[in-house]
A and B are shown apart, each in its own frame.
Chain A
Amino acid sequence: MFFLSKAQIITAVGAVGLALYVLDLVRRRRLSEEYSLLWVLTTVVIAVLGFSTPLLVGITHLLGIRYEGSTVFAFGLAFTMAMLLYLCIQLSRLVQEKDGLTREMAFLRLELEELRDSRDAVHPGGGDA
């Protein structure tokens, strides 16, 4: 019962590969440390579940799941949902920040126009001097 099934090996190797890829993305500054956290945690959990048959069987029984593979999928799905929710929260925050910056730009532009207008009124035809 405690041997590694083909599916377990594929899952575990895939998880380790993904973890290495995520770390490499951080190294190359393509992914920030903050956003890598959930990925690293999840790949590690999946890899541990994949390699350690007793742990996987134990958790599967504990959760009342019938097939060990489903436990791995359940963890994967939970991670996906958590990641999507996290991204939506970040997206909402980014939109708020974008709106604030847009507004700030509009005010700066108007003030620049007003300054130019008042300068032109004082020095008609004056250049940028």
Chain B
Amino acid sequence: MSGRDVLVIVPAHNEEESLPLILAEVRSRAPWADLLVIDDGSRDRTHDVARGLGVPVLRHPVNLGVGGALQTGFRYAIERGYAIGVQLDADGQHDPADLERLVRPVREGACDVSIGSRYVENSGYRAPLGRRLGMLLFSAVVQVSLGRAITDTTSGYRAYARDVMDVCRLDFPKDFPDAPLLIALARHGFRIEEVPVRMRHREAGQSFYTLGKRMYYPYKNLLASLMALLRRPA
């Protein structure tokens, strides 16, 4: 570790085109943070590109999905003594300009998980209809489960305190780490807050979510949310 206590974890699957820009942006916007790329079984030069830029890369020989990639990042963060881990997409959707705003409440101890939310303030983001319906459904699921609202359950722009990463490194949803994860974390007693951020459009590469996965998503997430409620926090 470099003396810095924040690690920005960038899961990447075939993102050789968008990686150089996003990594450079993080370095200029958040020089106080270290970077880690998880190459999640890419077939392109993702690993070489990141390594060429001097960023450590953990390379999965096969694809584990975004949740599996984050888990790898959490383990790295714990083993190397980081206090805070931030999850940032490689595709440029998450603006590194918001990093400081996202990390601040966790660093100040105001919460254990901060979510970069598109909807806390009007940030100009408008998702496609299917996605909006899904978000409404899972916001409702979280609301019913936790008795409080989280407006952007699907945001993948989050900062986690060390204790949270320690739990997540052992138990984390493999493919869609959103509503069920939030329910499980809240049941562990972790405090979750939302921070307004701007989401940008994807720069290049391909989304983690294929058509098949989008169809499977509601089933998996409803079931996993129910299980998160039924399981005793370890």
- A residues sitting closer than 8 Å to B (CB atoms) are 98-99, 102-103, 105-107, 109-110, 113-114
Contacts and interface: CB of A to CB of B under 8 A. Distances in A.
Q: When A and B form their complex, which 7 residue pairs have the shortest distance between CB atoms, in order from nearest?
A: A106-B58, A102-B60, A103-B72, A106-B60, A110-B58, A106-B59, A99-B64
Given A99-B68, A110-B59, 6 more contacts: A102-B61, A103-B60, A103-B64, A107-B76, A113-B56, A114-B56
A107 B57 CA distance: 9
B71 A103 contact: yes
B174 interface: yes
A106 B47 CA distance: 11
A102 B58 contact: no
B187 interface: no
Interface in B168-183: 174
A103 B57 contact: no
B58 A107 contact: yes
Contacts of B174: 99
Given A110-B56, A110-B57, A113-B51, A103 B62 contact: no
A99 B60 CA distance: 9
For the side of the interface on B, what is the size category?
Answer: 10 to 19
Interface of B: 38, 51, 56-62, 64, 68, 71-72, 75-76, 174
Given A110-B56, A113-B51, A105 B61 contact: yes
A97 B58 CA distance: 18
Contacts of B71: 103
Contacts of B76: 107
Given A110-B56, A110-B57, A102 B62 contact: yes
Nearest to B54: A117
13 contacts: A98-B62, A102-B60, A102-B68, A103-B64, A103-B71, A103-B75, A106-B60, A106-B61, A106-B72, A107-B58, A107-B76, A109-B59, A113-B51
A36 B139 CA distance: 47
A103 B74 CA distance: 11
A113 B59 CA distance: 11
B224 to A, nearest CB: 14
Contacts of B72: 103, 106-107
B207 to A, nearest CB: 21
Contacts of A105: 60-61
Contacts of B58: 106-107, 109-110
Nearest to A106: B58
A113 B51 CA distance: 10
